Amino acid sequence: MLVVVKMPPTEFIMQGAIPEKYLSLLKSDFGSNAVIEEDDENKLVPVTEMDWYKEMKAEETPGDTLRFYRRLHKMTQPDLAEKLGVSKQKISNMEHNLKPISRKTAYQLSEIFGIKPGRFI
């Protein structure tokens, strides 16, 4: 919450969780010169609605997603390569976006990591 009082020669600003008794006092003493605004800054917002998250998701590649889930499941590239029946180099190339992830591989990865295959395409 934000309270701004502008009344010559007095000007002050209060921010944060302001107790109701102080808000009442400011309203009674300063009337319309006290501007009281709800501060959206302290309200909870889903992370998926935040600008930084949207920007990050827009820049994320299938290789980034592969690396994230491989590490989340505490697997090395050779571990994942063995599960997929491919070389460690192929995993590295996919993570660095040098080779695309095929639909077949995306479906295999979705089974391994328990997520939708579209995350890897």
Give the residue extent of every domain in the chain. 2-42, 52-120
Q: Three-state DSSP class for 13?
A: strand
Q: Which CATH class is domain 52-120?
A: mainly alpha
Q: What angle do CA 21, 23, 24 make, to 5 degrees?
A: 65
For the chain, state the CA radius of gyration: 27
List the beta strands (DSSP E) in the chain.
2-7, 10-15, 34-37
For residue 63, count CB atoms less than 10 angstroms from its CB and return exposed for 0-12, middle for 13-18, buried for 19 or more.
buried
Give the C-alpha separation, 81 to 79, whole Å. Answer: 5
- Say if pTM beats, i.e. exceeds, 0.75: no
Yes or no: say if 35 and 4 are a contact pair by the CB < 8 Å rule: yes
Yes or no: say if 109 and 102 are a contact pair by the CB < 8 Å rule: no
pLDDT (tens place) for every residue of the chain, 121 residues total = 566 666 667 777 777 778 888 888 888 887 777 777 766 666 677 888 888 888 888 888 999 999 999 999 999 999 999 999 999 999 999 999 999 999 999 999 999 999 999 989 8
